[in-house]
Structure 1
Amino acid sequence: MTNGQPGLRERKKAATREALSWAALCLAVERGLENVRVEDIAAAAGVSPRTYNNYFSSKAEAIVFRHRNRILRTAEALRARPAEEPLWEALTNSFVVPFEDATEEPAPEWIAAVRLLLSEPALQAELSRGGAETRTGLVAAIAARTGTDAARDLYPKLVASAALSAMQVAYEQYLTAEPAVPFLPVLAEALRQLAAGLPEPSRSTEQRGI
C-alpha cells in the first residue's frame, strides 16, 4: 500500500476477484448454479482454474463476493465522509457509492433468473455466513463516526442493523417490482424513509403511490 492507497499488485488482485465474481454470477444466472463449472468461470474471467481456487473456495462464495464487497466499501466510504455531515445523510451517501452503476432498469429475464438463483441453499448459506463480517465493519465505521463503542454501545449496532435491513428490503422490492425498476433509487428511498423515522404514510401520499 502506498500513501494509504492500494499498490498495483493489490489493485490487480482486486480486479481479478471482481472479474471472477461477476463471471460466476452471470454464468449462474444464465445456466443455473449446478450447471456452472469452476473451469467455466475461470475461462470467462480470463484466468486459470488454479487462479480461481486461489481466490474462492466455492461458486457460492464467488457469487456472493460482490454483494459482500459492496457493503465493506460502504463502511470505507462512511469513514471518508465529511465530519460535519449528519450521520444519516453520510450513511445514505456512503451506501450510494458502491451502487452507482445500478441506475438502469434491469431486464425482466435477468431479475427472474436472479430470484431463482437466490433460492439456492448454498447461496443463502454463504450470504448468512458473510453477514456477520460485513455488519461488523459497518458497526465499527458508525462507532468511529459517532464516538461510541462498537463492542459495548447499542447505538452503532442498531444503526448498522437498521441500514442493512433497509438495503435488504430494497433488494426484495427491486427483485419483485413490476415493471422492473433500477436498484439505486429504491435503496435511496428506503434509507430516506428510515432516516425520517419511518413516519406513517398519509392518505394523500398513498394515493400518489409514493
Structure 2
Amino acid sequence: MASEQPQERPDQPRPRGAAGLRERKKLATRDALSWAALRLALERGLENVRVEEIATEAGVSPRTFNNYFSSKYEAIVSRHVDRTRRSAATLRERPADEPLWEALQYAALPPFEGPDQAPDPSWTSALRLMLAEPALQGEFRRAALTAGAELATAVAERTGTDVERDLYPHLVAAAVLAAQQTASDRWLYADPPVPLTPLVREALTLLAAGLPDPSVGRPH
C-alpha cells in the first residue's frame, strides 16, 4: 500500500447537477475521514486512535463516521480501494481505439501522482510501523479483493471478455495492482527516500512493455 502525503485529488470523478453536488460532498467527507484516520494513526500509533477522535479531526460526528466506515482500519485502507475505483472509472473513459496497456497506464497512474519529491523519512517510518499491525493487514487483504474485482470488471468491459468466466481481465488487473504495490514497497523502504510517482510510472511502463529481460544485450 502507498499512503501518499495529503494533497488535492483532482482525478476524482465529478458528477453534475444537484445529485452530483451531494455525491461530491460525500466523497469529500469520506476522504476527510480517511485522511484523519491516517494522520492520527501515524502521529499516535494505530492502537491509540479512537473513532471519536477521527470524527472530531474530520469535523463530523462519530455517527457520520459510522455511516462511511465500520472501523478505523477500514477508513485507512479505503484509500487503496478508492484509488482503484478512480483508475477503473478513468479506464472506462479512455478512447475505445486506444491500445489496452496504453489506456491502463493513463488510468492507473493519476491516483498516485503528487508532489515530485521524496517523502519525509519520519512519515515513511511511521507508515511502516502502522502497516505492521495485523488487524490492518487483514483489512488490506479484504480490500485487495475488492480492488482487483473493480479493475477486472473495467478491463473486461473494454476487452469484451467475461469477468465471471475469463481469466484474462483478472490477470491484467492483478498485474497492474502488483506493479503499483511493488513500486509502493520500493518507495516505502527506499533509503534515501525517493518520490513515489516516478516509481509507479516506471513499474507500469515496464509492465506495458511486457517486462523485457534487462539482461538481453548486456555484456556477460
Q: Same fold (TM over 0.5)?
A: yes
Q: Is the 8 A contact 2:80 2:143 kept in 1?
A: no
Once residues 134 and 183 of structure 1 are traced to their aligned partners in structure 2, the CA distance between those partners, rounded to angstroms, is: 20
Once residues 65 and 138 of structure 1 are traced to their aligned partners in structure 2, the CA distance between those partners, rounded to angstroms, is: 15
Matches within 5 A, 1:11-160: 11-101=24-114, 103-160=116-173
Q: Structure 1 residues 136 and 179, CA, compared in 2 at 3 Å: closer, same or farther?
A: same
3-state DSSP of counterpart to 1:7:
helix
- CA deviations 1:135-190 (Å, max 9, x no partner) are 11111111111111111112111111111111111111110111111111101111
Q: Who is 2:6 aligned against?
A: none
Q: Who is 1:180 aligned against?
A: 193
TM-fit CA distance, 1:74: 0.6
Q: Which runs of 5+ in 2 are unaligned?
A: 1-13
Give the TM-score normalised by the residue count of structure 2: 0.87
- Does residue 196 (structure 1) correspond to residue 209 (structure 2)? The answer is yes
Q: Structure 1 residues 3 and 113, CA, compared in 2 at 3 Å: closer, same or farther?
A: closer
Please tell me the root mean square deviation across aligned C-alpha atoms, in Å: 2.1
TM-fit CA distance, 1:26: 0.6
TM-fit CA distance, 1:130: 1.5
Give the TM-score normalised by the residue count of structure 1: 0.91
Once residues 135 and 17 of structure 2 are traced to their aligned partners in structure 1, the CA distance between those partners, rounded to angstroms, is: 36
Higher helix fraction: Structure 1 or Structure 2? 1
TM-fit CA distance, 1:103: 3.0
3-state DSSP of counterpart to 2:109:
helix
Q: Who is 1:9 aligned against?
A: 22
Once residues 19 and 166 of structure 2 are traced to their aligned partners in structure 1, the CA distance between those partners, rounded to angstroms, is: 32
Q: Is the 8 A contact 1:77 1:97 kept in 2?
A: no
Q: Which runs of 5+ in 1 are unaligned?
A: none
Amino acid at match of 1:32: G
Q: Structure 1 residues 184 and 56, CA, compared in 2 at 3 Å: closer, same or farther?
A: same
Q: Who is 1:167 aligned against?
A: 180
Q: Structure 1 residues 142 and 6, CA, compared in 2 at 3 Å: closer, same or farther?
A: farther
